[in-house]
Amino acid sequence: MTVFEELRNGRSYDIRNEQYQKEVHGEINRCRHLCWEINSTDPNDVQRIMQLENDLFGGLKPGTFFTPPFQIDCANCVHLGENVFANHGLTMMSVGTITIDDGVMMGPEVGFFTVNHEPDNICVIMTKEIRIKKNAWIGARVNILPGVTIGENAIVGTGSVVTKDIPDNYIAVGNPARVIKKIDRQGEEQ
């Protein structure tokens, strides 16, 4: 089993562990270089950016695009659907796995954080997967913490810090984010 698989299955890891260093830091270095290339590419050279993003993620589904600049540490742990869009400034600390379904839209400077450290030993990390379901809309400067699921068609308001799951068809805002309204299927608030 790889370190990535063990982390996804709930194992904590000391970041000084030799196998962790080899596997995780190998992926971090690969992604850091590709993110640098993407972020250094002329923004009008969309074809080149798309080619590099395809290399970063090991293939992209139709309509999916991340606007540079962005930083992703472990793209091998990011699973993207079709028509996923991220505006500039995205940060993904993804060693714990991030799954984003079809049609998700993210505003500028959104952050995903699947990793935390043991309070008694900050060299030990633990991870929990983040999942964003179909057609969710994540507002600007939203931060999503480990283990959170954002429901289908949910909206998370600008500047929110999401510490708990948001159900399908609800709007959540604040720090910490809290559910404030239900949305009907046509997108009208109830």
For residue 8, what is the enclosing H or E element?
helix 3-8
Q: What digits encode the pLDDT tens for the residues 5-57? A: 999 999 999 999 999 999 999 999 999 999 999 999 999 999 999 999 999 99
At residue 66 the predicted structure's pLDDT band, cuts being 50, 70 and 90, is very high
Domains of the chain: 3-182 (2.160.10.10)
What whole-number distance in Å separates Cα of residue 23 and Cα of residue 27?
6
Instruction: Establish whether 25 is a catalytic residue.
Output: no
Reported as a single tens digit per residue, the pLDDT across 93-128 is 999 999 999 999 999 999 999 999 999 999 999 999
pLDDT tens digits along 135-146: 999 999 999 999
Out of 25, 33, 79, 117, the active site residue is 117
Contact 138, 90 (CB under 8 A): no
Say what the pLDDT of residue 186 is. Answer: 64
What pLDDT, on a 0 to 100 scale, did the predictor assign at position 184? 81
161-162: strand order across its sheet:
70-72, 90-93, 111-113, 143-144, 161-162
